[in-house]
Amino acid sequence: MESRVDLYARIRRDARVDELSIRELSRRHGVARQTVRAALARAEPLPRKVPERSSPRLDPFKAAIDQMLTDDLTAPRKQRHTARRVLARLADEHGTTELSYSTVRDYVARRRGPRSTRPRAGQRTHPSRRSMLRVQRPRSTSAMSM
C-alpha cells in the first residue's frame, strides 16, 4: 500500500504531464474528486486529526488518582500504588463501581510517563562494579592467536 504523499505526487504529475481533468484523475487513481482537488491544491496531505477522547466516568476521580500518584513519588518503592490498588482505593473511598480496570490502568500509565525513562523493578540505575572492571580489562593476545 502506498502512502498518501506518493498518491498526491502521482496525481499532481499526471495532471501536469498528461493534462487530465479532475474526473479522469479520479477514475485513474481510484479516489474521490475531492481528494484530487486536495492533491492539486497542496503538495502534501493534511495531517490526520486525532480526536480528543473524553472519559466521563473517570473525570470525577482524576484529582484523587493524581494525588495518589503524587504521594507515591516520595513513598518507598514497595509501597507505591499499582493500578489495581488505585482502583481498589477508589472503590473503597469513593464508592465507585462503574470504573473498569483498563480505564484506570491506561490513565495511570499516561500519568506516570513512558516506562523507558523509569527504572524497572530490580533494575540497576548505575553500572555494577563487575561490568566496569570487565570493560577495563584488556584481552590476552594468546587467546586471539588460536
- Same domain, residue pair 109 and 70: yes
HSE, CB side, 13 Å, CA atoms: give it for residue 92: 6
Q: How would residue 17 be classed by pLDDT, with cut points 50, 70 and 90?
A: very high
Specify the 3-state DSSP secondary structure of 51: coil
- Measured between alpha carbons, how far is residue 17 from residues 10, 21, 40 in Å? 10, 12, 13
- Same domain, residue pair 64 and 109: yes
pLDDT score recorded for residue 52: 82
Residue 120 lies in a domain: no
Interatomic CA distance for residues 14 and 16, integer angstroms: 5
Residue 134 lies in a domain: no
Q: How many domains does the chain have?
A: 2
Residue 133 lies in a domain: no
Residue 22 lies in a domain: yes
Q: Quick check: 137 pLDDT over 70? A: no
Q: Which domain holds residue 93?
A: 59-115
- Same domain, residue pair 64 and 110: yes
Question: Cβ of 107: how many Cβ atoms within 10 Å?
Answer: 20
- Same domain, residue pair 33 and 63: no
Residue 128 lies in a domain: no
Q: Give pLDDT tens digits for 29-68.
A: 999 999 999 999 998 898 988 888 888 899 999 999 999 9
- Same domain, residue pair 32 and 70: no
- Same domain, residue pair 66 and 30: no
Question: Cβ of 26: how many Cβ atoms within 10 Å?
Answer: 18
Q: How would residue 113 be classed by pLDDT, with cut points 50, 70 and 90?
A: confident
- Same domain, residue pair 36 and 66: no
